[in-house]
Amino acid sequence: MDIIFLGGLEIDTVIGIYDWERGKRQTVILDIEMAFDIKKAAETDDINYALDYKTVSDRIIAFVKGSQFFLVERLISEIADLIRMEFNVPWVKITLNKKGAIGSGIDVGIIIERGEKKP
């Protein structure tokens, strides 16, 4: 299976359990890998057979900006579900980095995989 990726996608959102987190937007950084068979797109040179990463990116940005979850666990799970359902992606791996959540310059976050990566 081929992998299409979005790396370093920075999005401001309301995320966190503390009062001070609820009153301001914080940046989450997403790295996303998506399994997608690109064979037909490569053969035809036709966008209709490709996973349009601009459309995927725009949808994720809109979703995350509009969200107000308490836990990054919920946010990352919702993003994975969105990608798999709306873009017919059988497998996705997402790294969510909430940089600075526990101290200046410290990376903290979650990595999840959903679905099956087929050969």
State yes or no: pLDDT of 94 exceeds 80: yes
pLDDT in tens, 10-61: 999 999 999 988 989 999 999 999 999 999 999 999 999 999 999 999 999 9
Assign residue 95 the CATH number of its domain.
3.30.1130.10
DSSP calls for 38-68: -HHHHHHT-GGGS--HHHHHHHHHHHHHH--
Tell me if residue 118 is catalytic: no
The total of structural domains in the chain comes to 1
**How does DSSP classify residue 105?**
T
| Of 81 and 102, more confident | 81
Percent of the chain predicted with pLDDT > 90:
82
Please give the structure tokens belonging to residue 12.
């401001």
> Quick one: pLDDT band at residue 1, thresholds 50, 70, 90?
confident
User: Domain of 38?
Assistant: 3-115
> Quick one: pLDDT band at residue 119, thresholds 50, 70, 90?
low
Among 24, 39, 54, 98, the one annotated catalytic: 98
